Structure 1
Amino acid sequence: MIKKLIFALSFLMAVTISAQKTNDKDAVTAAAEKLRLAMISGEKPALESLILPELTYGHSGGHIDDAAEFVEKLVSKKSDFVTIDITNQTISITGNTAIVRHHFYATTADAGKAPGDVTLDILLVWVKVKKDWKLLARQAVKSEKKK
């Protein structure tokens, strides 16, 4: 009887953990999409709602923005994304940390310049704070891949 009870409890725990990971993966996917849209819109409240104050945002050229600089560049249109397409996204979750990798293709009009194209591979680190996922770190590397 005890063995059956232990088996049943173990099974229920496994199902619960699996369901939680699926819910978290969906929530991280939604947060990444909200970030994509906020980076295009440049809306300060939307951007600030998705990041942690400790954000470290690494560009493919080596420059690293803090949270304030990341938001300011997008709000001021110093960094202006006209379009952002994300492909080949993978999400790995361990505890309250999610690692997201994807291919990033964007059209830009930085500081009113003629449109440019950006092709990058991105690593995002999201942290679950209460029930929300917040961006802690981002690193971009140049990519040869096309959309």
Structure 2
Amino acid sequence: MIKKIIFTIGFLMTFAASAQKVNDNEAVTSIAEKLRLAMISGEKTALESLILPELTYGHSGGHIDDAKEFVEKLVSKKSDFLTIDITNQTINIVGSTAIVRHHFYATTADFGKDPGDVTLDIVLVWVKTGNGWKLLARQAVKSGKKK
């Protein structure tokens, strides 16, 4: 009888952990989409609600933005994304950390520059906090892949 109880408890714990991972996966997918939309809109409140103050945001050219610079560039349209398309997204959740990888295709109209197209491979690191998933790190590398 005790073996059956232990087996049942173990099964329920495994099931609960699996269900939590599915919920976290859906939450990270949703928050990554919110980031995509906020980067297009340049809405300060939306951007700030998605990131941690310790954000490190690496550009494909090597420049690193902190949280303040990341938000300021998008709000001021110094970095202006007209469109952003995400493909081949994968999510790997380890504890309270989510690693998201995807291909990033964008049309830009950065202030003072000619319009352009950007093709990048991105890795995002999200951390689960008491207020949901927040972006801690992002790194981009140039990609030869075309849309």
- TM-score for both structures, normalised by structure 2: 0.98
- Kindly indicate whether residue 2 of structure 2 is the aligned counterpart of residue 2 of structure 1: yes
The CA RMSD over aligned residues, in Å, is: 0.7
Deviation per CA, 1:11-49, whole angstroms, max 9, x where unpaired?
000000000000000000000000000000000000000
CA separation in 2, counterparts of 1:43 and 1:20? 31
Partner of 1:134: 134
Shift of 1:115: 1.5
Partner of 1:43: 43
The 5-angstrom pairing of residues 62-141 of structure 1 reads 62-141=62-141
Aligned residue pairs, count: 147
Structure 2 portions without partners, runs of 5+: none
Deviation per CA, 1:28-83, whole angstroms, max 9, x where unpaired?
00000000000000000000000000000000000000000000000000000000
Amino acid of the structure 1 residue aligned with 2:84: I
Structure 1 portions without partners, runs of 5+: none
Deviating above 3 A after TM superposition, structure 1's stretches of 4 or more consecutive aligned residues are none
Fraction of identical pairs, as percent: 82
Amino acid of the structure 2 residue aligned with 1:64: I
Shift of 1:112: 5.0
